[in-house]
C-alpha cells in the first residue's frame, strides 16, 4: 500500500473510529494528513537508551510515527546503554513510559504489540570496544531479519563527553564510510549541547568529521521541529502582505522569549555547570532569531535555508567585551512564591552549589548589521521559575507617523504587534487598532488570532516526530550545520568570558522565583523606551 492510499493521523489528534488497512503487521492506521514515509528501512541505534530522553521523547515519537504508518517496513531500534537490561525488560520499560507519555494522546495496546518487536537492547559501555563488536553483530542480524538494507541511523542521547568517543568507536568498527562501499547509508544525530564554548564546539566538529562527512551529521535542536517554528518561513514568504513590511522600515524591534515555570528539577548537577546562556541561547534562541531575520532562500532546501540562517549569525554585531553589561543581563532565582506556594531558590535545589554563580536567567540585546535590519534591536531572554511557561516571538511594528484622531485618555493607540506563539498554545496573533462601537470616534485594540488546534482542527506532530522522520529521509533542513554552531558560539563568547571571569551582580540571586526576572532586565529595555511583553 502506498502512503497516498493510507489514512494517517498527526500525533495528538483525538481518537476516531480506526480504518483497518493492510500495513505493518496489519495494524489499524489512524486518520490524518498524508505524508510520504521513508522509502528505505533502517536500524535506529540510540546511545543512552536508558536515559530520560529516550523514554520521554524518542520512543513515543517512533510509536506515533508507527501509528501513522510513517515508519518503513522492517524498521528496527537498538537501545545501547550502561543500564543492565535485555530486550524483554527494555520493551516493558518503554511500554510503561509510552503509555503514560503526554506525547501520546491515545495509547492502543494492539498497535503497541505490533510495534514492540522492533525494539532491541544492548548493555555496554560507551568507551569499551567489546560493546561495539556486539553492536556490529546485532546490526548484521537485523539486516537479515528485518531487511534494513545495511542502513544505520545513530542517535547520541548521552552526556556530551561521550559524543566524541562514540563517534570514534563507530569509525574504528567500520560503520562510517559504508556508503562508499555500497553497504547502505549511515547518519548520526547529535543532541545538544554541542560543545560548551567556541573551542570545544570546533574540537567536536573536528572529531565528528574524522569519521562522518558533514552531510551525515544531523545536529538536532527540537525547537526547529515545532510546527509554529517551521511556519515562520511559510508565514513570511508565502504572504504578500507580510514580507514587504518585514524590515527596518516598519519593524521597531523584536522580542524572543523562552520562559519556564519550573526550576532545574533533577538537572541541577548538569545545569550548574552549564547555565541559561549555554542551555537556551546558543541553540534555541539564536536559531529562532535566525529564522525571523533571514533573507528569502532561493528555494526550500537544506543548503539554501541554512545558508540564509548562517548569514544572519554572521551579521550579528560582535559584542565588545568591555561593554557586555550594557547589552547582557544575568539573573539567578532566589526563594519566592507563586499562587500561594513557596518555591525554593536555585541554591536550595538538589545538586546545586550553595554558593553557585550560575545564571538561571539571561537577557540580551543583539543588533544585526545588514541592510534589512540596521538599527532594529533583537531582545532575547530566557529564564527558569518564571510566572508561567511561555515561548513566543513578538514583532513590534513602528507607530503610524501621524494620528489625526481627537484622542482621549480612554483611547488605546498602541503599535501593531505580531506574536508567534511556540508554546504552550502554538499559533499566531496580530494586534490592530479599531474603532469601538458607538457614535463617537473612540479607539481600542483588537486581536486577530489562530491556533493550530482550533483553526486546523488538529494538534501538530511533536517536534521529535518531524525531526526523526527528516533524518530518515536525508533532509537536514531543520538541523544545524557546523558553521552555524560555531557562529552562534562566537556571538556568545564575549559574554561567557565576562560572566565567568568577572564578579556576579550584587545582589545574587537577584530575582524571586515566580517573577519575570531581575530588575536589570527591565532596565535593559527601558533604556531604549521599551518594555518586555509578558504574554
Indicate which residue of 266, 284, 402, 406 is catalytic.
Answer: 284
260 labelled ligand-binding: yes
Q: Using alpha carbons only, what angle is made at residue 260 by residues 254 and 263, rounded to the nearest 5 degrees? A: 145
Residue 446 is predicted with a pLDDT of: 82
Q: Tell whether residue 96 is among the known ligand binding residues.
A: no
Nearest residue to 147 via CA among 184, 186, 189, 116: 184
CA quadruple 95, 101, 104, 109: dihedral positive or negative?
positive
- Is residue 20's pLDDT more than 60? no
All domains of the chain in start order, with CATH: 3-191 (3.40.50.720), 224-526 (3.30.360.10)
389 is in an annotated binding site: yes
**pLDDT tens, position by position, 443-464:** 778 888 887 767 665 666 789 9
Separation CA 24–CA 40 (nearest Å):
14
Task: Write down the pLDDT at residue 395.
Answer: 97
Task: For 112-161, give the secondary structure using H, E and C.
Answer: HHHHHHHEEEEECCCCCHHHHHHHHHHHHHHHHHHCCCCCEEEEECCCHH
> What is the mean pLDDT of the segment spanning 505-518?
95
User: Is 398 marked as a binding-site residue?
Assistant: no
Q: How many residues appear in the chain? A: 535
Given a cut of 70, whether residue 3 has pLDDT beyond it is no
Tens-place pLDDT, residues 303-318: 899 999 999 999 999 9
Q: What average pLDDT does the segment 156-171 reach?
A: 95
154 forms beta bridges with: 45, 188
Residue 427 in grid coordinates: 499559533
What is the pLDDT of the chain when averaged over all its residues?
88
Q: Count CB neighbours of 163 within 10 A.
A: 22
Determine the Cα–Cα distance for residues 286 and 362; give it in Å rounded to an integer. 13
User: What string of H, E and C letters represents the secondary structure of 150-195?
Assistant: CCEEEEECCCHHHHHHHHHHHHHCCCCCCHHHCCCCEEEEECCCCC
Which residue in 419, 418, 417, 413 sits closest to 401, CA to CA? 413
284 is catalytic: yes
Window from 189-193, 255-259, 531-535 with minimum mean pLDDT: 531-535
Position 252 pLDDT exceeds 90: yes
Per-residue model confidence as pLDDT tens digits over 323-333: 999 999 999 99
pLDDT of residue 384: 97
Amino acid at each position: 500500500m502506498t502512503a497516498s492510499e493510507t489514512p494517517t493521523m498527526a500525533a495528538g489528534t483525538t481518537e476516531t473510529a480506526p480504518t483497518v488497512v493492510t500495513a505493518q503487521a496489519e495494524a489499524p492506521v489512524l486518520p490524518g494528513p498524508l505524508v510520504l514515509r521513508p522509502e528505505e528501512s533502517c536500524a535506529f541505534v540510540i546511545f543512552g537508551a536508558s536515559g530520560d530522553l529516550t523514554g520521554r521523547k524518542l520512543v513515543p515519537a517512533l510509536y506515533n510515527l508507527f501509528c501513522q504508518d510513517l515508519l518503513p517496513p522492517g524498521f528496527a531500534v537498538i537501545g545501547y546503554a550502561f543500564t543492565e537490561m535485555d530486550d524483554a525488560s527494555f520493551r516493558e520499560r518503554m511500554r510503561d513510559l509510552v503509555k503514560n507519555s503526554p506525547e501520546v494522546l491515545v495509547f492502543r495496546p494492539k498497535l503497541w504489540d505490533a510495534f514492540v518487536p522492533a525494539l532491541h537492547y544492548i548493555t555496554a559501555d560507551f568507551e569499551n570496544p567489546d560493546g561495539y563488536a556486539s553492536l556490529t553483530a546485532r546490526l548484521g542480524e537485523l539486516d537479515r531479519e528485518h531487511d534494513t538494507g545495511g542502513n544505520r541511523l545513530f542517535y547520541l542521547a548521552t552526556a556530551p563527553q561521550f559524543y566524541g568517543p562514540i563517534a570514534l568507536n563507530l569509525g574504528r568498527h567500520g560503520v562510517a564510510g559504508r556508503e562508499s562501499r555500497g553497504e547502505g547509508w549511515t547518519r548520526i544525530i547529535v543532541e545538544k549541547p554541542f560543545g560548551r564554548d567556541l573551542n570545544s564546539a570546533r574540537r567536536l566538529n573536528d572529531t565528528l568529521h574524522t569519521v562522518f562527512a558533514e552531510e551525515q551529521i544531523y545536529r538536532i535542536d527540537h525547537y526547529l521541529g515545532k510546527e509554529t517554528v517551521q511556519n515562520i518561513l511559510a508565514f513570511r514568504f508565502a504572504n504578500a502582505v507580510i514580507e514587504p513590511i518585514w524590515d527596518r522600515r516598519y519593524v521597531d524591534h523584536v522580542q524572543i522569549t523562552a520562559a519556564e515555570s519550573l526550576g532545574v528539577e533533577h538537572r541541577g548537577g548538569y545545569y550548574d555547570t552549564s547555565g541559561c546562556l549555554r542551555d537556551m541561547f546558543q541553540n534555541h534562541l539564536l536559531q529562532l532569531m535566525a529564522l525571523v531575520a533571514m533573507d528569502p532562500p532561493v528555494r526550500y532546501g537544506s543548503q539554501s535555508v541554512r545558508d540564509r540562517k548562517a548569514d544572519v549569525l554572521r551579521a550579528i554585531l560582535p559584542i565588545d567585551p568591555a561593554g557586555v553589561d550594557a547589552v547582557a543581563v544575568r539573573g539567578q532565582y532566589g526563594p519566592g512564591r507563586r499562587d500561594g506556594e513557596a518555591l525554593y531558590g536555585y541554591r536550595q535545589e538538589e545538586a546545586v552549589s550553595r554558593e553557585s554563580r550560575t545564571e538561571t536567567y539571561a537577557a540580551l540585546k543583539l543588533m544585526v548589521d545588514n541592510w534589512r535590519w540596521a538599527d532594529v534591536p533583537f531582545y532575547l531572554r530566557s529564564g527558569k521559575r518564571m510566572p508561567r511557561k511561555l515561548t513566543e516571538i513578538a514583532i513590534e511594528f513602528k507607530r503610524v507617523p501621524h494620528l489625526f484622531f481627537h484622542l482621549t485618555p480612554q483611547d488605546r493607540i498602541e503599535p501593531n504587534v505580531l506574536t508567534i506563539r511556540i508554546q504552550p498554545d502554538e499559533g499566531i496573533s496580530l494586534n490592530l487598532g479599531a474603532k469601538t462601537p458607538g457614535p463617537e470616534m473612540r479607539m481600542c485594540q483588537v486581536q486577530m488570532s489562530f491556533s493550530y488546534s482550533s483553526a486546523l482542527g488538529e494538534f501538530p506532530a511533536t517536534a521529535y516526530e518531524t525531526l526523526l522522520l527528516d533524518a530518515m529521509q536525508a533532509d537536514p533542513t531543520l538541523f544545524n550545520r557546523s558553521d552555524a554552531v560555531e557562529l552562534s558560539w562566537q556571538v556568545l563568547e564575549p559574554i561567557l568570558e565576562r560572566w565567568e571571569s568577572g564578579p556576579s551582580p550584587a545582589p545574587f540571586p537577584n530575582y524571586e522565583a515566580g517573577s519575570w526576572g531581575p530588575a536589570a532586565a527591565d532596565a535593559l529595555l527601558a533604556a531604549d523606551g521599551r518594555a518586555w511583553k509578558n504574554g
